Amino acid sequence: MEVTGDDGEVTAWGFETDDPSRLRRQGITPVYWQPGDTVTVITNPLRDGRPAGHLVGAIKADGATFGNVEGLVPPTQE
């Protein structure tokens, strides 16, 4: 996922989630995320500072959610 920081710099991030069979039971199919989707996420980042972590929750611009999205607001579509 490409993440735009507060300074406008774009960094590639990697996220871990559940195994594929559990994701599918939650309605997350291989086409759930599409290139160009705008998403706001909550993550537990890696301790060593690399741009990656465990994806806790996400909300897409269309309001679709994944995981724990408490306190998240959908991003604006650009």
Residue 8: what pLDDT?
92
pTM here is 0.77
Residue 4 has pLDDT above 70, yes or no: yes
Residue 47 has pLDDT above 90, yes or no: yes
Report the distance separating Cα 12 and Cα 27, nearest Å.
25
What letter represents residue 52's amino acid? A
Residue 21: what pLDDT?
92
CA distances from 33 to 8, 50, 69 (A): 23, 23, 16
The string of pLDDT tens digits covering residues 13-41 is 999 998 999 989 888 888 988 998 999 99
Residue 78: what pLDDT?
56
